[in-house]
Amino acid sequence: MKQMIQKTVEQALASAFNAGDLLPTEPPTSIVVEIPKTASHGDFSTNIAMTMASSQKRAPREIASVLIDHIKDSDGLVSRVEIAGPGFINFFVEQAQWYEVLKSVHSRGRSYGTSQVGQGKYIQIEFVSANPTGPLHVGHGRCAAVGDTLAAVLNAAGFKVEKEYYVNDSGRQILTLGSSVLLRYRELLEESVEFPTDAYQGEYIKDLAQSLLASEGKRLLDLPESEAIEACAMFAADEILDGIKKDLDAFNVSFDHWFSEQSLFDTGAVDKAIQDLKNKKIIYEHDGAMWFRTTAFGDEKDRVVVRANGLTTYFASDIAYHKNKLERRFDRIIDIWGADHHGYIPRVSASVQAIGHSKDKVGFVLVQLVNLLRDGKPIAMSTRAGEFVTLSEVVKEVGKDAARFLFLLRHYDSPLDFDLELAKRQSNENPVYYVQYVHARISNILRKAHERGYSNICWHDDFCELINLSEEIQLIKLMERYPEVITQSARLLEPHRLPFYLKELAGAFHAYYHDRTKHQVVSDDARLSAARLFLVSAVRIIIRNGLFLMGVSAPASM
């Protein structure tokens, strides 16, 4: 609808230029049409006359008046156009148009809200990518919810999306994992061991040692230290990764690819990437180490890629990894990271540019931290000491629906306070059920309608007279906005817009539902019932579609 208004304005503009009613200046590059805050300002408005005032050297209201004269509304889209305030042009949409919206919600059904603005372009999203050295915690959960929903939203907006998890199954942390497990293993065999502070402290290490002992027996004691550590590392990393996959599965998050860091070494990709950049003189030697000239791309200092001891840094893998991603010919690549990694952006961005790609090719989304609370009081957590609440514990306690909804209910730029007690509460303090409840209520109405024999939900032209109350038109106007919520979330990479919209739609429905003297859906009046069933089941379609994108279930009863 907004696009149609936009086209109308565009056409009026062109017509005014052609007729010589406007000075022949450069036409505006984009026409902004928005939904005014107050209903008295119309359904849509544009500020075009104001933005053109200086180049046209005329008063905005005068320009607006010229444009209005050139508006051709052959489709009968608008009932009234007015000039208001400093020079806004306000459009009032013909009521009949809103029924078209309502009809299209039904005819599109599950695909209502989807579009082709992405033009089938390939986007890769990498997220979570937690090291397989311990279970996922709540911070990973937020990244998982954001990444998974963003992928769904982009997909709905017509992009082809691939979700990837980068597994850091190489490097020092894996060896640390191995030696941590080995020590606990020896402990189980009643050796007295000293457990160093730089080892992984969590209880889960003991569990891993236990299952290792169960499957391998005492065999590892006979191996040389380094082989034993490696065996422990392989075993533990596999087990942990397996657990991560299960946790994500329980959280309704899926990935298309699991990409192994180790594979970059096995195929020689890391060496090759380094060699290529050496040839380009972007990597140079200094103090026995190999340095990447990231300062040439705006970083504040150069970064080490190969240490003096010959071992590569994490950054080296990351260069090869991003090179690999870029070679896979995605149109765009998005890395979703915890905000504590933001210091890595300049160097990764430098590597992307050094490989020969535009900086914009790779986008970064930084998700701020999660503060876990219980009854308003912070829960102390320390990853180092192994004291943290895992994602699976949270999901088990509050349910995946509440967890996902609450993780998405904040812009990823703001830190998130997540209160476990509030998340569980079945009350109006908890926003999670508010939206789901709409779905349950409408489902119940449909059940009742079915019992009464009103089971055929399809459009009849007399609905135009029957769906007539301003609250009802208001509901349809809200429904009309849904597709734009999706495209905007996709364009700005901001999935939080979705739950905010759903809350708004839910609020409008609950208010409508509640006044049963005016809005009883299923009644003795068969025609009116049919019309209202058509209206409310459209609301249900959108609620269901929106929750689906968020990975939250839409229950038929609660």
63-85 burial, b at 16+ Cβ within 10 Å, e below that, comes to bbebbeebbeeeeebbeebebee
- Please give the Cα distance from 58 to 395 (Å, whole number): 61
State the minimum distance, in angstroms, from the CB of residue 109 to RNA: 22
Number of residues that bind RNA (CB under 7 A): 90
- Please give the Cα distance from 244 to 247 (Å, whole number): 5
Q: Write down the residue that tokens 């004291």 correspond to.
A: 387
Q: Establish if 129 lies at the interface with RNA (CB under 7 A).
A: no
Of 370, 213, 349, nearest to 294 by C-alpha is 349
Which of 223, 234, 304, 379 binds RNA (CB under 7 A)? It is 304
Of 372, 410, 433, nearest to 497 by C-alpha is 410
Output the CA–CA distances (angstroms, integers) from residue 374 to 380, 411, 423, in the order listed: 11, 22, 10
State the minimum distance, in angstroms, from the CB of residue 115 to RNA: 15
- Please give the Cα distance from 438 to 171 (Å, whole number): 49
Q: Establish if 168 lies at the interface with RNA (CB under 7 A).
A: yes
Q: Establish if 57 lies at the interface with RNA (CB under 7 A).
A: no
Which of 276, 503, 548, 553 binds RNA (CB under 7 A)? It is 503
- Please give the Cα distance from 336 to 373 (Å, whole number): 24
Q: Residue 71 or residue 220: which is nearer to RNA going by CB?
A: 71
Of 392, 364, 325, nearest to 146 by C-alpha is 364
- Residue 365: phi and psi, rounded to 5, are -115, 120
How far apart are the two ends of the chain, measured CA to CA in Å? 35
Q: Establish if 375 lies at the interface with RNA (CB under 7 A).
A: no
Q: Establish if 428 lies at the interface with RNA (CB under 7 A).
A: yes
Q: Establish if 522 lies at the interface with RNA (CB under 7 A).
A: yes
DSSP secondary structure of 138-178: HHHHHHHHHHHHHHHHHHHTT-EEEEEEEE--SSHHHHHHH
Q: Establish if 497 lies at the interface with RNA (CB under 7 A).
A: yes
Which of 190, 194, 225, 287 binds RNA (CB under 7 A)? It is 287
Q: Establish if 511 lies at the interface with RNA (CB under 7 A).
A: yes
- Please give the Cα distance from 27 to 274 (Å, whole number): 49
Of 261, 315, 327, nearest to 124 by C-alpha is 327
Q: Return the SS3 of 328.
A: coil
Please say whether the beta carbons of 199 and 179 come within 8 A.
yes
Within residues 182-241, the interface with RNA by CB under 7 A covers none
Which of 122, 314, 459, 548 binds RNA (CB under 7 A)? It is 314
Which of 448, 455, 458, 525 binds RNA (CB under 7 A)? It is 448
Please say whether the beta carbons of 503 and 434 come within 8 A.
yes
Of 552, 553, 541, 431, nearest to 476 by C-alpha is 541
Using the contact rule CB under 7 A, the part of the chain among 140-148, 216-224, 244-252, 439-447 near RNA is 439-447
Which of 173, 180, 349, 351 binds RNA (CB under 7 A)? It is 173
Which of 366, 457, 478, 493 binds RNA (CB under 7 A)? It is 366
State the minimum distance, in angstroms, from the CB of residue 221 to RNA: 28
Q: Establish if 344 lies at the interface with RNA (CB under 7 A).
A: yes
Which of 8, 41, 61, 355 binds RNA (CB under 7 A)? It is 41
Please compute, for residue 353, the number of CA atoms within 13 A of its CA located in the half-sphere on the CB side. Answer: 18
- ∠ at Cα 66 (61, 69), nearest 5°? 125
Q: Residue 105 or residue 438: which is nearer to RNA going by CB?
A: 438
Q: Residue 86 or residue 196: which is nearer to RNA going by CB?
A: 86
Using the contact rule CB under 7 A, the part of the chain among 269-277, 340-348, 384-392, 456-464 near RNA is 340-348
Q: Establish if 431 lies at the interface with RNA (CB under 7 A).
A: yes
Q: Establish if 143 lies at the interface with RNA (CB under 7 A).
A: no
State the minimum distance, in angstroms, from the CB of residue 217 to RNA: 30
Q: Establish if 472 lies at the interface with RNA (CB under 7 A).
A: no
Q: Residue 155 or residue 430: which is nearer to RNA going by CB?
A: 430
Please say whether the beta carbons of 390 and 136 come within 8 A.
yes
Q: Residue 162 or residue 292: which is nearer to RNA going by CB?
A: 292
Q: Return the SS3 of 373.
A: strand
Q: Establish if 138 lies at the interface with RNA (CB under 7 A).
A: no
Within residues 73-92, the interface with RNA by CB under 7 A covers 84-86, 88, 90
State the minimum distance, in angstroms, from the CB of residue 114 to RNA: 19
Q: Establish if 54 lies at the interface with RNA (CB under 7 A).
A: yes
State the minimum distance, in angstroms, from the CB of residue 378 to RNA: 11
Dihedral sign from CA coordinates of 541, 542, 544, 549? positive
Which of 120, 343, 356, 453 binds RNA (CB under 7 A)? It is 343
Which of 7, 80, 110, 172 binds RNA (CB under 7 A)? It is 172
State the minimum distance, in angstroms, from the CB of residue 189 to RNA: 29
Q: Residue 384 or residue 460: which is nearer to RNA going by CB?
A: 384
Which of 194, 222, 225, 300 binds RNA (CB under 7 A)? It is 300
Using the contact rule CB under 7 A, the part of the chain among 38-46, 108-116, 158-166, 265-273 near RNA is 38-46
Within residues 476-495, the interface with RNA by CB under 7 A covers 488, 494
State the minimum distance, in angstroms, from the CB of residue 381 to RNA: 11
Which residues pair with residue 123 across a beta bridge?
A: 161, 332
Burial class (CB in 10 A: 0-12, 13-18, 19+), 345: middle
* β-strand pairing of 283-286 with 78-84: unpaired
- ∠ at Cα 389 (386, 391), nearest 5°? 120
State the minimum distance, in angstroms, from the CB of residue 219 to RNA: 28
- Please give the Cα distance from 521 to 451 (Å, whole number): 14
Using the contact rule CB under 7 A, the part of the chain among 39-47, 100-108, 229-237, 462-470 near RNA is 39-47
State the minimum distance, in angstroms, from the CB of residue 372 to RNA: 13
Q: Establish if 42 lies at the interface with RNA (CB under 7 A).
A: yes
